[in-house]
């Protein structure tokens, strides 16, 4: 059985869709917190296993010997280490055949704050003795295109990344890589550095948004303190604003610009250009 945790999340749903193109629903299990939210998956023949990262006791019996498990990293920054630890512990106790984890580009070399919990989780997995694959995902196009409304309203892409570049890919691209690993062979004990084929700058991104929208869009590169003020002024909690600012500093240092080719090789096609993601976002 292929088991996907966080299956009703944005990445998880893409993974389930991809798996259903390759294997019957009867060979897929979705670990979800809310059975009702996952009703559409059950209707497609996917087995539902109910559990909550935050309640380790609910993970008892969720995994079985021989399962291939995709651990999609939790979305609650600051709580992910114990959440992931609970999943790894239960997977090890069950004796799963493979544990695949969605980590972050660069792995142990990623020195920015958002990567810290991923680094710890990688070490937890390596220490568990489980057969594993590390999918070190780079940035998603959607991290930016889902915020296009504000860009169009203010006529500016605001960041504190200088001339740094981002080798992003679509969420669907990263999901396709997970599907390839879960349904293929020869991936065990590998760490894949996954990123888009082309790295873009914020100035180029702003220009492309402007070209497609017909509006004049500028790139405003702002100091870290100003960037934080803008984010908190928009309602973002201070700790989360600090993470965003820190990520932009990492981008300026080139940590999210790596174009390894691992992603396109795994999915067997070029990664989705950011221009296509912009087009889709403007249409929606």
Asked if residues 103 and 137 have their Cβ atoms less than 8 Å apart, the reply is yes
Confidence of residue 185 (pLDDT cuts 50, 70, 90): very high
The whole-number pLDDT of residue 53 equals: 86
Task: Report the alpha-carbon distance of residue 18 to residue 8 in Å, rounded.
Answer: 14
Confidence of residue 48 (pLDDT cuts 50, 70, 90): very high
Counting Cβ atoms within 10 Å, is residue 275 exposed (0-12), middle (13-18) or buried (19+)? middle
Q: What CATH superfamily classification does 2-137 receive? A: NAD(P)-binding Rossmann-like Domain (3.40.50.720)
Class of domain 141-169+196-258+272-284: alpha beta
Find the length of the chain. 284
Among 174, 151, 255, 163, smallest CA distance to 200 is for 163
Please give the full DSSP string across 88-139, using - where no structure is assigned.
HHHHHHHT-SEEEEEEETTGGG--SGGGHHHHHHHHHHHHHT--EEEEEE--
The whole-number pLDDT of residue 217 equals: 98
Non-local (6+) Cβ contacts of 149 within 8 A are none
pLDDT tens per residue, range 21-39: 999 999 999 999 998 999 9
pLDDT tens per residue, range 233-258: 989 899 889 999 999 999 999 999 99
Q: What is the pTM of this model?
A: 0.96
Asked if residues 263 and 177 have their Cβ atoms less than 8 Å apart, the reply is yes
Non-local (6+) Cβ contacts of 254 within 8 A are 164, 165
The whole-number pLDDT of residue 49 equals: 96
Task: Report the alpha-carbon distance of residue 74 to residue 120 in Å, rounded.
Answer: 13
- Which residue intervals of the chain are DSSP H helices? 10-20, 39-43, 80-94, 116-128, 142-145, 148-154, 171-183, 202-213, 224-233, 238-252, 262-267, 274-283
Angle of the 171-183 helix axis to the 10-20 helix axis, nearest 10? 50
Task: Report the alpha-carbon distance of residue 222 to residue 211 in Å, rounded.
Answer: 23
pLDDT at 86 over 90: yes
The residue extents of the domains of the chain are 2-137, 141-169+196-258+272-284
pLDDT tens per residue, range 136-166: 999 999 999 999 999 999 999 999 999 999 9
Whole-number mean pLDDT of the chain? 96
pLDDT at 262 over 90: yes
Task: Report the alpha-carbon distance of residue 167 to residue 110 in Å, rounded.
Answer: 15
Q: Is the model more confident about 123 or about 79?
A: 123
| HSE value, Cβ hemisphere, 13 Å, CA-based, for 66 | 3
| HSE value, Cβ hemisphere, 13 Å, CA-based, for 271 | 30
pLDDT at 284 over 90: no
The whole-number pLDDT of residue 112 equals: 93
Q: Please state, for a pLDDT cut of 70, what percent of the chain lies above it.
A: 100
DSSP H/E element including 158: strand 156-159
């Amino acid at each position: 059985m292929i088991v996907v945790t966080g299956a009703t999340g944005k990445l998880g749903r893409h993974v389930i869709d991809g798996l259903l193109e390759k294997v019957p629903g009867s060979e897929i299990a979705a670990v979800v917190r809310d059975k009702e939210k996952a009703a559409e998956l059950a209707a497609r023949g996917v087995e539902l296993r109910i559990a909550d990262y935050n309640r380790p006791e609910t993970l008892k019996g969720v995994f079985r010997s021989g399962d291939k498990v995709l651990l999609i990293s939790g979305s609650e920054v600051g709580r992910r280490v114990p959440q992931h630890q609970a999943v790894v512990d239960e997977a090890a106790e069950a004796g799963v055949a493979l544990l695949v984890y969605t980590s972050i580009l660069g792995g142990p070399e990623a020195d920015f704050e958002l990567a810290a919990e991923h680094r710890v989780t990688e070490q937890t997995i390596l220490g568990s003795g489980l057969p594993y694959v590390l999918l070190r995902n780079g940035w998603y196009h959607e991290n930016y295109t889902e915020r296009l409304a504000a860009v169009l309203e203010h006529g500016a892409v605001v960041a504190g990344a200088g001339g740094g570049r981002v080798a992003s890919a679509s969420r669907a691209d990263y999901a396709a890589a997970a599907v390839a690993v879960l349904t293929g062979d020869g991936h065990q004990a590998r760490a894949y550095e996954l990123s888009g084929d082309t790295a873009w700058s914020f100035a180029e991104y702003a220009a492309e948004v402007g070209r497609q929208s017909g509006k004049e869009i500028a790139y405003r590169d702002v100091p870290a303190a100003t960037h934080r003020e803008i984010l908190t002024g928009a309602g973002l909690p201070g700790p989360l604003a600090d993470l965003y600012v820190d990520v932009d500093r990492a981008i300026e240092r080139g940590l999210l610009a790596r174009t390894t080719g691992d992603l396109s090789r795994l999915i067997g096609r070029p990664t989705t250009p950011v221009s296509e993601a912009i087009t889709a976002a403007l249409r929606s």
